[in-house]
Structure 1
């Protein structure tokens, strides 16, 4: 039996976003919802998704 994952939680610890597995940004072997999360908020910006206040 196989299981296909369609949605995953962003790997950023402070982020509450869920992202499609096929559209996630892969970095460090993990899936992120945005470039900001994937770069550990090196630019100081949040992911800018509604309702999420992450900044790394």
Structure 2
């Protein structure tokens, strides 16, 4: 059975994430630790692996 994906809770992020493997904070699902912590050092999600998001900037 395929996973049901949800949008990352980070406002500028366009990634979808599987709730079972997501980084969870305050009941919300994030695609990466950077998104979950609010990008304190402006780091991109997924280590800048070219996912296309503008979050962290």
* TM-score normalized by the length of structure 1: 0.79
Larger helix fraction of residues? 2
Question: Does the CA contact (< 8 Å) of 1:6 and 1:22 recur in 2?
Answer: no
* TM-score normalized by the length of structure 2: 0.78
Structure 1 unmatched ranges of 5 or more: none
RMSD over equivalenced CA pairs, Å: 1.7
Larger radius of gyration, structure 1 or 2?
1
Residue 6 of structure 1 and its aligned partner are, at CA, apart by 1.6
Structure 2 unmatched ranges of 5 or more: none
Paired positions, count: 52
Runs (4+) of structure 1 moved beyond 6 Å?
none
